[in-house]
Structure 1
Amino acid sequence: MIEKRTVCRIVEEWLEGKDYFLVEVSVSSEDKITVEIDHAEGVWIEDCVDLSRYIESKLDREEADYELEVGSAGIGQPFKVLQQYHIHVGHEVEVLTKDGNKLIGVLKQVTKDHFVIGIQRKVKIEGSKRPKLQEEDETFTYSEIKYTKYLISFK
């Protein structure tokens, strides 16, 4: 059986000096290896092919037969690593809190402990007949949420 840490080490070697980062590696009990990478400007298929060939060159099929899948972190999928938050600062995201609230806003700030999104809310302003949209910042720790994901917009 191929070990996850072996695949992670191989991927980290390939990533060295590149702007890509590792999102996830999984190895099933049937030796199906799945590697997800990401990049601030998107992932190129040629780089996935290059990484796949690099991994294959470092593993011995005589020792263990395996299936290998290399791809990008799926667009619209929940973020899995902190770097995904960083590359989406300034973009609209969807956050689902553990208590079931779904919020949409612009990702404004990211630290290792928390992140901030700006949410448009209707607020009744004194002297005004109608509520007006006003941006309010909401801060979340990563333990307070079920997921955060990039919101795809076709405006």
Structure 2
Amino acid sequence: MISRETIEAIVAEKLEEENLFIVDISISPKNTITIMLDGEKGVSIKSCVAISRLVESKLDRNVEDYGLEVTSAGLGQPFRVVRQYSINIGREVEVLLLDGNKFKGVIVEAGSDNFSIEYSEKVLMDDGKHKQVVQQRKSFPYNVVKSTKAVISFK
């Protein structure tokens, strides 16, 4: 059976050339290989085709039959790897925590263990009657996050 490690080894150099990275590689029981990519400047169809052709040139269908799909990480898809947080600094995201709390804000920082967002929150003023919009900053360790998705805006 074709392994994830085999696919990673095949595409590693080409991904570096194209300034892309692997978000996910899955191999189904029927040997359908799905490679999901992302990059700082997105992923072009041309890059997907180049990676697909590279994998096909290195694997022998006569030895082991397989299906192959090479895709970009979709805009509406949750982030799957830490590097996606870094390339989305400055972008509005929706964060869902494991405890069910949701936050919507702009990623301002992303490290290896956590990331931070800035968001607006209405806070009760000292008079106890009026609310004021205040900018907040909150940091989240990746291990408490259920999902993070980029917010798509059509403004």
1:18 CA displacement: 2.6
**Equivalent AA in structure 2 for residue 84 of structure 1:** Q
Query: 1:3 & 1:129 partners in 2: Cα distance?
Result: 62
**Equivalent AA in structure 1 for residue 109 of structure 2:** Q
**What does residue 82 of structure 2 align with?**
82
Residue 39 of structure 2 corresponds to residue 22 of structure 1: no
Residue 125 of structure 2 corresponds to residue 125 of structure 1: yes
CA offsets 1:92-148 (integer angstroms, 9 cap, x no match)? 000000010111011111110111111210012235853121111111101111011
**Equivalent AA in structure 1 for residue 150 of structure 2:** Y
Unaligned 5+ residue runs, structure 1?
none
CA offsets 1:39-76 (integer angstroms, 9 cap, x no match)? 12221111101110010000000111100000101111
Check the 8 A contact 2:18/2:47 in 1, yes or no: no
Residue 29 of structure 2 corresponds to residue 52 of structure 1: no
**Equivalent AA in structure 2 for residue 64 of structure 1:** E
Query: 1:14 & 1:63 partners in 2: Cα distance?
Result: 24
- Aligned pairs, number: 155
Query: 1:118 & 1:74 partners in 2: Cα distance?
Result: 24
Query: 1:8 & 1:26 partners in 2: Cα distance?
Result: 11
Check the 8 A contact 2:96/2:146 in 1, yes or no: yes
**What does residue 146 of structure 1 align with?**
146
**What does residue 69 of structure 1 align with?**
69
What root-mean-square deviation, in Å, do the aligned CA atoms of Structure 1 and Structure 2 show? Answer: 1.3
Check the 8 A contact 2:4/2:27 in 1, yes or no: yes
Query: 2:120 & 2:63 partners in 1: Cα distance?
Result: 56
Q: Please say which of residues 16-25 and 67-76 is displaced more in the overlay.
A: 16-25
**Equivalent AA in structure 1 for residue 50 of structure 2:** D
**What does residue 9 of structure 1 align with?**
9
- Runs (4+) of structure 1 exceeding 6 A deviation are none
* SS of alignment partner, residue 18 of structure 2: coil
* SS of alignment partner, residue 74 of structure 2: coil
CA offsets 1:7-57 (integer angstroms, 9 cap, x no match)? 111121321333111111111121100001111222111110111001000
Query: 1:16 & 1:152 partners in 2: Cα distance?
Result: 28
**Equivalent AA in structure 2 for residue 41 of structure 1:** K
